[in-house]
Amino acid sequence: ERSNLAGVRHILLVLSGKGGGGKSTISTELALSLRHSGKKVGILDVDLCGPSIPRMFRVQDNDVHQCDSGWVPVFVDQDKSISLMSIGFLLEKPDDAVVWRGPKKNALIKQFVADVAWGDLDFLIVDTPPGTSDEHISTVEALRPYKPLGAILVTTPQAVSVGDVRRELTFCKKTGLRVLGIVENMSGFVCPHCSECTNIFSKGGGEELAKHAGVPFLGCVPLDPQLSQSLEEGRDFIQEFPKSSAFPALAHITQQILDGTAQQSS
């Protein structure tokens, strides 16, 4: 019997030590960018307490259906080029809290990894909650037989965030998960009124960490109100705001991922 992940070419995890630093944003923008490069992408949202992905694609009211091979992922449009799975789709009411201890979370994650009928995908992006606990251990264990491409670590520039992402790097090392690189998110804000750049959350911490840890630095993504607005409305930022300040950085990150997979094949 063919596994549900047999048609998935590359699996990518997005991790962070800290909450609120933009993992789901990076996962979403990466998916949109890869789609614009002609790839078929799936996002598996294993943040069971705070599932952000459905809303970022404006499909938060969708339901999930079953088929013979398991759950059918939710397609974000007619194209069927981006599909999603999240606990967000399984909740009766959007404000329902998932108040589960580890074992129950682990059981659902195993199901999410094995029982979603993704079909053929170029990339499966796995968006995670912050930390190094049940969800992370279970996800990595369940994905191990499918040899994930690796993990992207998202940090904001300041030391307090970097401090936790260092621990996330150790998690990757201990679990044998390759680190594709570090993204420094929320790195600088350009005032739309006068163009003055302010480093609201400091600057450079992510780049320094990448150097110190010997992993690739994928780039700095600035704070961009147009990006925040796009995510709020579930819009395609990559298509609609190519002149926006965050666009070049996001496009560059995607290109490095694509270059990495091209190298892999050759």
Partner 1 sequence: QVALLDIDICGPSIPKMMGLEGEQVHQSGSGWSPVYVEENLCVMSVGFLLSSPDDAVIWRGPKKNGLIKQFLRDVDWGEIDYLIVDTPPGTSDEHLSIVQYLGATHIDGAVIITTPQEVSLQDVRKEINFCHKVKLPIIGVVENMSGFICPKCKNESQIFPPTTGGAEKMCQNLNVSLLGKVPLDPQIGKSCDKGRSFLSEAPESPATLSYRNIIQRIQEYCDQHHFHEEKII
Q: How far apart are the first and last CA of the chain?
A: 30
- Rg of the chain over all Cα atoms, to the nearest angstrom: 18
The Cα 219–Cα 232 span in angstroms is 24
Q: Tell me whether residue 23 or residue 39 sits nearer to partner 1 (CB atom).
A: 23
Least gap, CB of 257 to partner 1 (angstroms): 23
Q: Which amino acid is located at 70 in the chain?
A: G
What kind and span of H or E run contains 110? helix 102-114
Alpha carbon distance 187, 220 (integer Å): 6
Binding site for partner 1 (CB under 8 A): 17-20, 24, 48-50, 52, 55-56, 94-103, 105-106, 129-134, 136-137, 158-160, 163-164, 166-171, 174-175, 189, 191-194, 196, 198-202, 223, 225, 228-229, 231-233
Nearer to partner 1, 29 or 168 (CB): 168
- CB of residue 112 to partner 1, shortest distance in Å: 16
Q: Which is nearer to partner 1, 6 or 49 (CB)?
A: 49
How near is the Cβ of 155 to partner 1 at its closest, in Å? 11
Structure tokens that stand for 29 in this block: 């923008």
Beta bridge partners of 13: 126, 151
Nearer to partner 1, 49 or 114 (CB): 49
Closest approach, Cβ 52 to partner 1, in A, equals 6
| Strand partners of residue 75 | 83
